[in-house]
Each structure stands twice: as C-alpha cells, then as structure tokens.
C-alpha cells in the first residue's frame, strides 16, 4: 500500500512529466507541419481571402518582404490573410498551397523556394479556379503559364549590375587585362531563381574578361552562418582572393567576419573587394563606412504591387505576366544620411 506522502510524490513527478510531454508534442506538431495559419472557415467572410506561402525567414530581406505583404493584406484593406511560413522546405509550401486550395481561398500568392517541382500543385490550383501569383522568385519557365502573374526583382539584371560595377572598379584602379583578378562567389539557395539569375548575370559579364578568374562558386544558403563557414573554407583554400561576390547581405555579414578574423582587410581601402546584394539598412551602413564596396539592391517591398494585381483581377482587367519592382545600386558615393534614414529594414 502506498502512503499519502508517496502518492503526493508520484503526482509531483507525474504531472510535470505529462506537461513536458504535451508541450514537446504540440511543439513537435508545429515543427513537422511547418504551417502557421490563422483559423479561417471557408466562405465565412466577404473580404478577399489571400493565402500567402512565404518560403522562410532566412534573411533580413525576407523579414522585410513578409512585413510588406502582411502590411498590405489587412482587414482594413478588405483582405483576409492566411499566412504560412515554409521554413525553406518545398514540401511545406506544397502542403500550404494544398491547404489554401481546400479552404477555397480567392487568391494564392507564393514565393517559390526553388524553381522546379511545382507543376502538379499549380495544376491543382488551376483546376480549382484559384489564380496563383508568384512573388520574389519564379518557378521554371514551363510552369509559369500556370500562374497568372509575378511580382519581383530582376535577379539576372542584378548579376549583370554587379559585373558592370566590377568592370568600372578595376578600370578605376588601373588593373590591366593582363592581371589576374581572383574571384569567389557565395551563392544563395541551390535551385532558387534569384541565385540562378544572379550567377548567370555575373557570369555573362565575366565572360568578356579573360583575366577574371572565378576560383569557385559555393552555396551558402542566403544565411549569415553559412556565409561565414563557406568563406572560411575559401580563405583556407585560396591564398589570393581579390573579390568576393556574395549573393545577399546576410551571407556578406558572415563572410566579412570570416575575412576579418583571418586578419585580412575588406572594402574600399582593403585587400578584398566586397560585392553584395539586397541593400538592407545594416549593409548600407557598411557601404557608407567603406566596408562593403557595392550593394546591388533587391527590393522586398512587393506587397503594394501584389494588391494592385489582385484589385485589377477583381475588376476583370488584364494583368501583365511580370511586374518588376524598382532597384538601385549603392556605393559609398550615394548612401546618404537620407537613404539610411528611410531604409527601415
Ligand atoms: O530571393 C531573394 C533573395 O532571398 C534575397 O536576396 C535574399 O536575401 C533572400 O533570402
């Protein structure tokens, strides 16, 4: 027979154990489904219901892109937003899109993490009569006919801009076509249209310069931690690096840390020139300080364009296949106090 004291002790152990188990279980469910949605009951609102599948939250840029979408698709603006974060996994995006279809949303907006593998689910959306709009990145060319429109940035052109900047920079430094320029490239998520476009655009310019030697291109997933790791590897492998092309600011932050920890210098007065992409606030501060040589802007403010496309579709108007957001190129010469003040991401 157990005494009252023994029962109390058992309860003391049992209740917290069950509570810990339940917490881990519920958290685990969230982890495996990777979908965060507001509750929504089909047909219960006269607002425009938009299902947004964001690919993740890997960078400062992505956070700004999410905020841009969430600030536009609000109740006050006549929308009901179902938002899902896929945490970099295509399977989670497919799951989210299927869930939007079964909830019979009015529109689906999604930022495809990679280009390939969307045909089946896009076909399902089409059969359900739900227009799909891509944002930021694109699906492969053959599947774009299954989407009504796209809002985003011209990543190939961004790569070209990086190459053109390097041409001018080397010219200004008096580097002749006889001198080898050693370049390493940190690329974004493998298979992502923005990474593919930036690589292609930069290579297009590099092809005209026999003295530009791309030592290696390596994926660092658009994250700071990976950027640092990949850059450390480059520094061990290649003693002479003149230029780092880093396909987003987060990877650049990591890469610069690695370079400085290795005792090397970067930027306008340093040994290694840094070319970055995105132009988020912290990176622009580094441009102003001469740490990053150039930042090719990738504009995350796409929510306004998306809502314009939807309101045109609501009125039965024709929409363009592609809408490009505006983008600039930043160097120490044009990052003014005003630019920094206005950059809120
Ligand atoms: O697709 C756009 C890229 O994705 C941005 O450059 C990067 O920061 C983001 O994660």
Query: What is the per-residue pLDDT across 124-136, written as a single tens digit (0 to 9) for each?
Result: 999 999 999 999 9
- Mapped onto helix, strand or coil, the DSSP state of residue 287 is helix
- How confident is residue 319, by pLDDT bands cut at 50, 70 and 90? very high
Superfamily of domain 155-298+331-342: Response regulator (3.40.50.2300)
Q: Of 261, 257, 179, 174, give the one whose Cα is nearest residue 213.
A: 179
Distance CA 121, CA 130 (A): 12
Lowest mean per-residue pLDDT among 39-48, 59-68, 155-164, 210-219 = 39-48
Does the pLDDT at position 292 exceed 60?
yes
Give 221 Cα–ligand 1 centroid separation in angstroms. 9
Interval between CA 65 and ligand 1 midpoint (Å): 9
Report which ligand 1 atom has the smallest distance to the Cα of 56. Answer: 10
In the prediction, which pLDDT does 35 show?
42
Tell me how far the alpha carbon of residue 211 lies from the centroid of ligand 1, in angstroms: 29
- Examine domains 2-152+301-314 and 155-298+331-342 and report if their fold is the same: yes
More confident of the two residues 89 and 33: 89
- Closest approach atom of ligand 1 to CA 247: 6
Q: Of residues 164 and 41, which shows the higher confidence score?
A: 164
pLDDT given for residue 213 in this prediction: 98
Atom of ligand 1 nearest to the CA of 298: 6
In this prediction, residues 39-54 reach a mean pLDDT of 86
Averaged over 235-262, what is the pLDDT? Answer: 98
d(CA 102, CA 80) in angstroms, rounded, equals: 16
Sign for the CA dihedral angle at 210, 216, 220, 221 comes to positive
Place of tokens 């881990």: 24
Q: For the whole model, what pTM was predicted?
A: 0.89
* 249 Cα nearest atom in ligand 1: 8
pLDDT more than 90, % of the chain: 87
Q: Which atom of ligand 1 is nearest to the CA of 250?
A: 8
Tell me the domain boundaries of the chain.
Answer: 2-152+301-314, 155-298+331-342
Average confidence (pLDDT) over 12-21: 58
Task: Calculate how far, in angstroms, residue 111's C-alpha sits from the geometric centre of ligand 1.
Answer: 10
pLDDT bracket for residue 39 (50, 70, 90): low
Tell me the C-alpha distance between 118 and 205, whole Å.
31
pLDDT at 12: 58
pLDDT at 154: 98
Whether 92 contacts 98, CB under 8 Å: no
Tell me, in angstroms, the distance from the centre of ligand 1 to residue 299's CA. 10
Average pLDDT over residues 213-235: 98
Rounded average pLDDT over 215-228:
98
What per-residue confidence (pLDDT) applies to 246? 99
Mean pLDDT over all residues of the chain?
Answer: 92
Pocket test for ligand 1, best of 55, 56, 58, 62 (most atoms within 8 A of CB): 62
Which superfamily does 2-152+301-314 belong to?
Response regulator (3.40.50.2300)
CB 156 within 8 A of CB 201: yes
The pocket around ligand 1, CB under 6 angstroms, is made up of: 58-59, 61-62, 136-137, 188, 194, 222, 248, 277-278, 298
- Burial bucket for residue 90 (CB in 10 Å: 0-12, 13-18, 19+): middle
pLDDT of residue 29: 45
């Amino acid at each position: 027979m157990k005494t009252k004291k023994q029962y109390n002790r058992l309860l003391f152990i049992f209740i917290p154990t069950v509570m810990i188990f339940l917490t881990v279980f519920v958290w685990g469910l969230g982890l495996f489904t990777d979908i965060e949605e507001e509750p929504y009951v089909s047909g219960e609102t006269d607002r425009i219901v938009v299902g947004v599948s964001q690919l993740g939250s890997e960078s400062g840029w992505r956070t700004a892109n999410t905020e841009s979408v969430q600030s536009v698709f609000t109740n006050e603006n006549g929308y009901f937003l179902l938002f899902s974060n896929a945490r970099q996994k295509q399977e989670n995006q497919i799951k989210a899109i299927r869930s939007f279809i079964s909830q019979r949303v009015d529109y689906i907006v999604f930022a495809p993490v990679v280009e390939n593998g969307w045909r089946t689910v896009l076909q399902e959306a089409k059969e359900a009569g739900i227009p799909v709009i891509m944002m930021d990145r694109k699906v492969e060319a053959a599947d774009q006919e299954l989407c009504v429109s796209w809002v985003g940035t011209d990543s190939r052109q961004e790569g070209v801009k990086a190459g053109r900047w390097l041409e001018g920079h080397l010219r200004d430094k008096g580097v002749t076509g006889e001198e080898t320029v050693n370049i390493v490239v940190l690329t974004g998520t493998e298979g992502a249209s923005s990474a593919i476009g930036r690589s292609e655009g930069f290579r297009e310019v590099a092809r005209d310069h026999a003295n530009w030697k791309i030592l290696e291109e390596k994926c660092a997933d658009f994250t700071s931690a990976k950027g640092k790791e990949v850059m450390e590897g480059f520094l061990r492998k290649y003693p002479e690096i003149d230029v780092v092309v880093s396909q987003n600011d987060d990877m650049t932050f990591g890469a610069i840390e690695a370079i400085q920890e290795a005792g090397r210098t970067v930027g306008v007065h340093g040994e290694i020139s840094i070319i970055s992409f995105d132009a988020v606030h912290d990176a622009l501060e580094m441009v102003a300080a001469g740490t990053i040589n150039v930042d090719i802007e990738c504009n995350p403010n796409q929510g306004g364009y998306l809502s314009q496309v939807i309101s045109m579709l609501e009125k039965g108007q024709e929409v363009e296949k592609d809408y490009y957001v505006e983008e600039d190129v930043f160097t120490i010469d044009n990052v003014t106090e005003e630019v920094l003040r206005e950059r809120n991401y």
